[in-house]
Structures are given as C-alpha cells and as structure tokens.
Amino acid sequence: MKIALAQLNYHIGNFEANTKKIIDNIQLAKDKGADLVVFAELAICGYPPRDFLEFDEFISLCETAALEIAKHCIDIACIVGLPIRNDILQGKDLFNAAYFIENGQVKAVAKKALLPTYDVFDEYRYFEPATNFNCIDFKGKKIALTICEDLWNINDNPLYVSNPMDELIKQQPDIMINIAASPFSYTHDDERIQVLADNAKKYNLPVFYVNQVGAQTEIIFDGGSLVFDADGAMKAEMKYFEEDLQVFDLAEVENVRNKYPKPERLTDIEQIHDALVLGIKDYFRKSGFSKAVLGLSGGIDSAVVCALACRALGAENVMSVLMPSKFSSDHSVNDAMDLVNNIGCMHEIVPIKEAAEAFDLILAPAFKGLPFNLAEENIQARIRGIVNMAMSNKFGYILLNTSNKSECAVGYGTLYGDMCGAIGVIGDVYKTQVFELAKYINKDREIIPINTIVKPPSAELRPDQKDSDSLPEYDILDKILYQHIERKQGSKAIIAQGFDEALVQRILKMVNIAEFKRYQTPPILRVSPKAFGMGRRMPIVGKYMA
C-alpha cells in the first residue's frame, strides 16, 4: 500500500478554496501512484473554526464539500477531517470526525475521543467525545485511525482517563494513521516527535501522521508531518512551514527499519523567524490585504518587525513611518533610515513635535501647571498611534504592532498608542529573543543596522530615557518572566531559584496589574508554549500576586 500525506494550508470557512485544494491533491497523489491520501484534522472547514461551528449552515457546507470530494476518490481512497452532526439528542451536537472515502463513497467514519480544552484549545465547547472505535479495512490492512489529541495521552501525567488506541489495538490493526491540527511553538516539534515515537513503540505499529500548515490569525501550524516504523524510529519528516505532499510505501516502512538519517533540526530562533514570516503572510493573504504600515523608531523591535514584514509581503508592500519627536535622538532617525535603505521598503517622515506642543497648549489649563510626567509621554505615543492609523485609513495599509513579549508582560506600553495595531508580530517574543532574531536576520548581510542592535533600548519619550530606568535589565527580566509565564511558577518557586525576592515580587505584580492592557491589544502571533491571548486567560481584577 502506498500512502500519501498531504500537508496543506487551509482557510477557515473558505469551502471553495479548501475543497479545490483537497481535490487537486487527490489527483496529485493519484498521479504519484498512491492508494490512499491523508488530509489533516478539520481540513474541509479549516482549524480552528470556533463559533462558526454553531451555525447549522456551516456544518451543511462541510457535508456538501465532503460529497464533492468523494466524487474524485476513484481508484484512490482518502481520509479527510470535518465536523459532523451527532444524531443522538444527548450530548454535544457535533463530532470532530474523519471520513474514510473509497470508490466515491464514505465507507467509514472515525470520531475524536480526547477533546483538549487547555491553552488555545476549546474543543469540548463544541464536540461530543467518541466512545466507540473501529479499525478500517483497506487493501488487506487494518487501519487504526485517530485524530490529533487521541495519541497524546501517553505521558507520565495523562489528562484523560482513556486511550482510543487501547481499544483499537484489540482489533489487531496493522498501521496507525493520525490526522492533526497541531499548533506550532518553538518547543513543540520535539515533543510531537517523542509522543508519536512512544505510540509506535507502545503499540508496535508504524505511525503515519499528517499535520496542517499555515497561520489562522494568531495560531501558526508548522506542518512537519511524520512517519515512524513499529520500533518508534522516524522514517520520514516532511517540510516545515510549507505545503508538502509525499508518498510512502507501507511495505518499506514495515520491513526496512531504523535507516532514516536524522536531519539537522532548526534552532529555536530559526523556527520563530520562519513562523512569524508565515504568520504575517497568511494574516494578510487570508484577510484579503496586501500592504502593511508600522511606526519605525530606530529601535530594535520595529526594525525586526519591518524586516519580517518585508520578507513576508515584499518590501514594496511595507510602509514605515518615522515620527521623530523633540526627544528623538539623531541616531534613531539615522538608524531608521539606514534600515529603510538596506531593505528598500516605502517610508514617510512625519514629525510629531508640533502636535505634541498643541496638546500641551490645549491641556495646560486642565493640567494646572503640574510637572511633565507619564501623561505627556503617553500623549506622544498616542500621537504616533493616530498617525499610523491615519496612514492605514487613507491608503488601506494594515497596521503591524511592534510590542515585544517583555513589554506586553509588564505593561511597558501605551494603550491606543504603541500598543495599537491589527496583529502583534513579536508580542510572543521576549526582548532577549528579539536581539537574537535581529542577528539571525543579519546572517547573510546587514539589514538591521548594527547600531540598532547594540544601543541601549529606549522609548525616547523624555530626555535621555532608557528602558532600564523603568525595568530591570532584560536578561534578568526575561528569565523571571519565562519562569512565571511559560513554566507557570509563582513567586516562591522563582525566588527559590536564586532570584532577588523584591525584584520577583515587583515583576509579578507588574504582570498582574497589566492584564487590563493585554485585553485590549491585537491578536499576537503565537510562537511559544504559552502566549498572551486566547491561550492564557487571567482575570483583570484578580488579587493573586497583585
């Protein structure tokens, strides 16, 4: 049996495009001699469809698309994911399911049993868990077909009380096939490989795993579909961050073991870079936009975002707006212009000194002679937000937010100023990682000016301002934030690692009280195991660690 894994980039709710893509790849797999082609979890509608699933018409369109796909499954079978209705009144109205289609007909249906509700997942909101499991007979082989999470209950701290494979193995299958929508984080590829290898070894069966690729707003899927032999040795690893279709001979996987050359793995920063470029590209393409705008300050955050946007969209589609104030240093303007010249993007220079002075004038009676403070600093940031949004409205540009994760964590940003935008590009990238990204972007030639990388970070909203005036040094701050956010450690546990007690308490308080700001920021491209947004749900007025 020859099995094709089709790793594709779907568009949520775009049934016409998804159906055509699936049909085209059925034909491609047939041309390559495949007997079976396998598509991802909820491929027909795209993942995650969220509350689209509450519309009956949406489910009907999924079924209509599946019937159209079935017409093309002649002389080749396919497995494809979609939501289907639950005919039993009790329980949720839908199943997360997979159709096995052969000779133009749906011959079998597999339903997902383990429905994740952690981090970015919320599947039990919509789906009923499966309780009955049956293998699928095809070309003299028994296939144990599972969906994503159904193979993940294999670690030392299981989330679920049952395992679908423990039931399916009783029917003596010959092969496991798992269809998935497994989101990217820079730690997840290694975890995924280990989980699938453990399944292969536990059940002594080869595993064929297909993941989707592409970004759906803030969630990025990296592909990396995999094949393992029954010893748990990886036999194939498909492309990351790209569509791919490959055909595998089951007999070779079964009979030729432990002869797969292990590829060189991408570093965390390489993965983050590729994920962010894909995230920007798909946000624009799937939203029907082509041109971006951002404020370019001469600092490292906006420089990195500008470089990433140019790689994703083309430099000719990126507008950088330089908005110097009376506190902006000459080198900041020069650094920003050096980047523009290095990268070839569009630019405008819009000084904000007069606008800031106008606000000083009209607010003087209300401010009653009080000294310059955060209010005036934030007015400058909000003027820049107004200018960026004006460019967006006038020319149809989409505003990119340039706040990093360290700033988002501690609230070091201005609401309706530098925190505005349609998509947060580096809001899940700590400041120390931003520096690493800049160096990686410069690996072949200088794109981001060296001075931008080496100079002390500054918001330049008051004379001689430095980030370190308000925040701990980023190498210390980011370590504490990582322990708290990604590793979910409280103050006592972090202090026990040797960090200063007063500093830990101060940082955690800043994180907690900044929650109201994060509720009002744009969606953030997710690249870490725990990103701000839908995967981290905190009360705004909670007292814990405040």
Sign, Cα dihedral of 26, 29, 35, 38: negative
Report whether 295 belongs to an annotated binding site: yes
Taking residue 475's Cβ as centre, other Cβ atoms within 10 Å add up to 11
Answer whether 195's CB lies under 8 Å from 228's CB.
Answer: no
Answer whether 144's CB lies under 8 Å from 165's CB.
Answer: yes
Report whether 378 belongs to an annotated binding site: yes
CA–CA dist 26, 22 (Å, integer): 6
Dig out the tokens for 497 from the structure. Answer: 């690692």
526 burial class (0-12, 13-18, 19+ CB within 10 angstroms)? buried
What is the CA angle 96-99-103, rounded to 5?
170
Instruction: Determine phi and psi for 121, rounding to 5 degrees.
Output: -90, 145
Q: Which of 30, 112, 405, 530 is catalytic?
A: 112
Dig out the tokens for 520 from the structure. Answer: 């009002």
Q: Which of 148, 306, 310, 420 is catalytic?
A: 148
CA atoms within 13 A on the CB side of 458: 18
Torsion angle in degrees (nearest 10) through CA of 283, 286, 289, 290: 80
Report whether 9 belongs to an annotated binding site: no
Report whether 458 belongs to an annotated binding site: no
Q: Residue written as tokens 């497995």?
A: 79
Catalytic site includes residue 41: yes
Helices (H), 154-299: 164-168, 188-203, 250-255, 268-287
Contact partners, residue 314, CB within 8 Å, separation at least 6 = none
Report whether 369 belongs to an annotated binding site: no
Q: Residue written as tokens 């007292």?
A: 543
Sign, Cα dihedral of 464, 468, 474, 475: positive
Q: Which of 2, 41, 306, 310 is catalytic?
A: 41
Closest CA to 225 of 241, 207, 211: 211
Report whether 370 belongs to an annotated binding site: no
Report whether 299 belongs to an annotated binding site: yes
Report whether 296 belongs to an annotated binding site: yes
Report whether 301 belongs to an annotated binding site: yes
Q: Which segments are annotated as binding site?
A: 118, 182, 295-302, 378, 402, 407, 517
* Residues annotated as part of the active site: 41, 112, 148
Q: Which segments are annotated as binding site for L-glutamine?
A: 118, 182
Q: Which segments are annotated as binding site for deamido-NAD(+)?
A: 378, 407, 517
Q: Which segments are annotated as binding site for ATP?
A: 295-302, 402
